[in-house]
Structure 1
């Protein structure tokens, strides 16, 4: 298994359809990056969310990225209806690409079973043509987890901290039957097993260049 270091990542755009998408999928990556790259710049983009949910997202981002330079672009398009707001969603992504020259872009998968996630994943590759785009995964009832091709091993304390942040920052979600520690740790453990680590997060990348 070939390992690649991303020591040159200084600017990240993280895009989610909903508050908590980014942290569920990539909270471990963000915690690890913040520790490895002090002052990393992260631009958060959310397409949906009430004022309360947006406040939760801000708290989660701050907890996952201590010491980072954070900026936010938060929108309140209707949850579950992004395909009906295709033009607005595309403009949100195009604006993010024009605002920040990112070394790394985190977005949902174009194969995600949730229509909001899927649309963002599909639009991201045309908006961010010259950046490394990683598609993250979100566990859900639909059972759409695929075969990722890129893994981020997580230290035990990072995995634990990720779950702590999810529970602390998103109290509005705790009533959902899918929201529990076993789901979050279980997926990280499975991806860790696949990458010879204890815990890991998994991503897919459809296009990249390798420079020596």
Structure 2
């Protein structure tokens, strides 16, 4: 299967429900996008996060997107309660869509078992109708990993750099029983096997437009 290229991406909107969602799910993609697209412009949007966690997210975004021009919209809605704040979440997503015409949007998957992730995953494709929306996956206790259809191979160095940066920039999560190299690299190894690579990240997409030009 011949791959499509993400070289030439000039603008990215990255949507996350919580600090660390984007980096856990798509840290390899962020690293490779920034390396392949000098001058990349990024709108980095989070719906929840206390000040300390927002500070982690800012530092992580800079590390995962070196050289990119990043603007932040960091919300402080209550964790685990986004469906109850639907209007506020919808306005945050649609505000990003009004301000940016991105080539690519990263958002959670609408089939995710976490209610906050589902809310953003449902809103993203309706707000960004003219952009490619890739819906990422996040490993968790619920065991909700699906059958993705889009893969991004990661060189070994990128996969290990991703894990290194996760540990460096999200120390608040270090005590969690699932926060370790085996979870992050294990999922990446599985997705890599599925696309004939050693490591990979995987995504869902509801709609993709092809062109011959």
Q: Number of paired residues?
A: 212
Q: Which residue of 1 aligns with 2:115?
A: 115
The runs of 5 or more residues in structure 2 that have no matched partner are: none
Q: Which residue of 2 aligns with 1:85?
A: 85
- After TM superposition, the score normalised by the length of structure 1 is 0.99
- 1:63-74 counterparts in 2 under 5 A? 63-74=63-74
Q: Which residue of 2 aligns with 1:211?
A: 211
Q: Counterparts of 2:152 and 2:136 in 1: how far apart (Å)? A: 11
- 1:1-212 counterparts in 2 under 5 A? 1-212=1-212
Shift of 1:39: 1.5
- After TM superposition, the score normalised by the length of structure 2 is 0.98
3-state SS, counterpart of residue 85 of structure 2: helix
3-state SS, counterpart of residue 71 of structure 2: strand
Q: Counterparts of 1:201 and 1:182 in 2: how far apart (Å)? A: 15
Deviation track 1:125-162 (CA, whole Å, cap 9, x = no partner) reads 11111111000000000000000000000011100110
Q: Counterparts of 1:91 and 1:101 in 2: how far apart (Å)? A: 16
Shift of 1:6: 1.9
Verify the 8 A CA contact 2:6 2:33 in the aligned structure 1. no
* Alpha-carbon RMSD: 0.6
